[in-house]
Chain A
């Protein structure tokens, strides 16, 4: 039976920020030599975007770019 490739998320970090007026959670970690980043809506709890890169900054930049593109489309309706 072939042996499995075992990975572990290393250096897992979470922080909150604001993006296009919305509060987001940003999680990043290293996995198998690559950095991964996930951006989620804080108010809803849904993941918006993910990114990967050779550095944490690169992974975050990619995920944040994608999340910003999605968030900017959100329409806010006046109360009535």
Chain B
């Protein structure tokens, strides 16, 4: 069995249990619903709320540089801190945080394989105590790395000129336009369907039943079987960019694809555009 391209970016629950108290390690639970953190979290973990702390709350965007720096400093994260991210929904929002931290140049960030669910299932220690964190100093890079972010123009070029392979990681029902949002969640677009030419490879196909990632061989077979190979630029998208940041993580770090972007505008942008071409072919 082959290894992940960058095995350092993934730690298992046992590693976290052993290293959560290390002075240079910061544990962060990233959720969209922080009720989970309040109920019980890994001792020493702080919480980030995706909606209010990892998104610009004025315009639709990632957080601006100064807010990012403040977030790091208040979390006690310095440039050389090893940051371990985990969260609900199989690490969707943790993957978003990792993607954003990579844009802002943080070097040592890792996901806890299996996320919050695996920690709970294993009956590991939890607490409701919120740790007191000493503020750190954080220096931003000269320029953010936007090579891992796709904008609308990139997605349009991928659809029209086949400049990149588009991977739609939503469920088949969202891909075909049968529903406009995941069941039970608010509709955030005017039209259903997908970007013309996109392949539908739902994000969950990369996970085992317990939420951990499948092996490198299984992941490679999954994507290459759908025509998504490392020799072509790839753009992943979903509804709001969090599920696709999970797929971006898999392609970039577990499989080592050199040119992968997360289109965080995703279907909430494309599905609201006037005259944007849409396909509704079967998944």
Number of interface residues of B (CB under 8 A): 42
Q: Does A75 lie within 8 Å of B120, measured CB to CB?
A: no
Q: Does A8 lie within 8 Å of B126, measured CB to CB?
A: yes
Q: Does B280 lie within 8 Å of A6, measured CB to CB?
A: no
- Among candidates B90, B126, B176, residue contacting A79 with C-beta atoms closer than 8 Å: B176
- Among candidates B123, B174, B176, B179, residue contacting A9 with C-beta atoms closer than 8 Å: B123
Q: How far is the CB of A55 from chain B (nearest CB, A)?
A: 17
Number of interface residues of A (CB under 8 A): 35
Residues of B within 8 A of A52 (CB): 39
Residues of A within 8 A of B121 (CB): 9, 12, 14
Complex Cα distance A32/B174, Å? 38
- Interface residues in B162-216 (C-beta closer than 8 Å to A): 170-174, 176-185, 187, 192, 202-204
Q: Does B129 lie within 8 Å of A74, measured CB to CB?
A: no
Chain A, interface SS category: mixed
- Interface residues in A22-80 (C-beta closer than 8 Å to B): 22, 27, 29, 31-32, 36, 40-41, 43-48, 50, 52, 67, 70-71, 73-77, 79-80
- Among candidates A6, A12, A29, A76, residue contacting B179 with C-beta atoms closer than 8 Å: A76
Q: Does B177 lie within 8 Å of A79, measured CB to CB?
A: yes
Q: How far is the CB of B281 from chain A (nearest CB, A)?
A: 10
Q: Does B129 lie within 8 Å of A9, measured CB to CB?
A: no
- Among candidates A32, A45, A76, residue contacting B89 with C-beta atoms closer than 8 Å: A45
Q: How far is the CB of A79 from chain B (nearest CB, A)?
A: 7
Q: How far is the CB of A43 from chain B (nearest CB, A)?
A: 4
Q: How far is the CB of B184 from chain A (nearest CB, A)?
A: 4
Among A29, A46, A52, A75, find the residue whose CB has the most chain B CB atoms closer than 10 A: A46
Complex Cα distance A14/B36, Å? 17
Residues of A within 8 A of B204 (CB): 44-45
Q: Does B179 lie within 8 Å of A74, measured CB to CB?
A: yes
Complex Cα distance A77/B189, Å? 13
Q: How far is the CB of A78 from chain B (nearest CB, A)?
A: 8
Does B19 interact with chain A (Cβ within 8 Å)? no
Chain B residue at minimum C-beta to C-beta distance from A71:
B184
Chain A residue at minimum C-beta to C-beta distance from B191:
A77
Q: A residues near B, CB below 8 A?
A: 4-10, 12, 14, 22, 27, 29, 31-32, 36, 40-41, 43-48, 50, 52, 67, 70-71, 73-77, 79-80
* Top 8 A-B residue pairs of the complex, sorted by shortest distance between their CB atoms: A70-B184, A44-B182, A9-B120, A43-B171, A74-B183, A7-B126, A22-B183, A48-B184
Q: Write 12 A-B pairs (CB below 8 A) sorted by A numbering.
A: A4-B129, A8-B123, A9-B126, A12-B123, A14-B121, A22-B183, A43-B202, A44-B182, A46-B89, A46-B92, A77-B177, A79-B280
